Amino acid sequence: MTWNAYNLRWDKEKFGNVSSVNMPKEKVWVPDILMYNSASDDFDETYPTKVVISSDGSCLWVPPGMFKSTCAIDITWFPFDDQRCNLKFGSWTLTGGLLNLTQDKADGGDTSGFIRNGEWMLIGVPVERHAVTYECCPEEYQDLTFTIHIRRRTLYYGFNIVIPCVLISSLTLLLFILPPDAGEKISLGVTILLSLMVFLLLVAETMPPTSDAVPLIGIYFVCIMVMCSMSIIFTVGVLNFHYRTPDTHVMPTWIKHLVCGWLAWLLRMRRPGGANSRRALLQRSQVKDYKLAPLEEKSRSLMANVLDTDDDPRTMATNGSGGFRLKMEDSCNSPLASNGGCVGSLGSSLGSPISSTTVRHDITSILRELKKITAKFRKEEEQEDAKNDWKFAAMVMDRLFFVVCFVFTIGSTIAILASAPHLIT
pLDDT by residue for the chain (425 residues), tens only, comes to: 899 998 999 999 999 899 999 999 899 999 989 999 988 888 787 888 999 999 999 999 999 988 888 888 888 888 899 999 999 999 988 988 888 998 888 788 888 889 999 999 999 999 999 998 888 888 899 999 999 999 999 888 888 888 888 888 888 888 888 888 887 888 988 998 898 888 888 878 877 787 888 888 888 888 888 999 999 999 999 999 999 988 888 888 888 888 888 988 888 888 776 555 445 555 555 544 444 445 455 555 555 554 554 444 444 444 443 333 444 444 444 444 444 444 444 444 444 455 667 777 778 888 888 888 888 888 888 888 888 889 999 999 999 999 999 999 999 989 988 888 887 76
DSSP-derived pairing of the beta strands 120-124 and 140-152: antiparallel
Nearest partner of 424 among 123, 74, 156, judged by Cα: 156
pLDDT value, residue 59: 95
- HEC secondary structure over the chain: CEEECHHHCCCCCCCCCCCEEEECCCCCCCCCEEECCECCCCCCCECCCCEEEECCCEEECCCCECCCECCCCCCCCCCCCEEEEEEEEEECCCCCCCCCCCCCCCCCCCCCCCCCCCCEEEEECCEEEEEEECCCCCCEEEEEEEEEEEEECCHHHHHHHHHHHHHHHHHHHHHHCCCHHHCCHHHHHHHHHHHHHHHHHHHHHHCCCCCCCCCHHHHHHHHHHHHHHHHHHHHHHHHHHHCCCCCCCCCCHHHHHHHHHHHHHHCCCCCCCCCCCHHHHHHHHHHHHHHHHHHHHHHHHHHHHHHCHHHCHHHEEECCCCCEEECCCCHHHCHHHHCCCCCCCEEECCCCCCCHHHHHHHHHHHHHHHHHHHHHHHHHHHHHHHHHHHHHHHHHHHHHHHHHHHHHHHHHHHHHHHHCCCCCC
Determine the pLDDT at residue 82: 93
Q: Which of 154, 72, 81 is nearest to 118 (CA)?
A: 154
Structure pTM?
A: 0.66
pLDDT value, residue 61:
93
Residue 367's nearest CA partner among 381, 340, 342, 346 is 346
Q: Is the peptide bond before 63 cis (omega within 30 degrees of 0)?
A: no
Give Cα separations from 278 to 157, 253, 258, 266, 281 (angstroms): 52, 12, 9, 12, 5
Q: What is the pLDDT of residue 147?
A: 94
**pLDDT at residue 103, as a whole number:** 86
Q: What is the pLDDT of residue 269?
A: 86
What pLDDT does 275 receive? 52
How open is the CA angle 179-184-185, to the nearest 5 degrees?
Answer: 65
Residue 292 has what pLDDT? 47
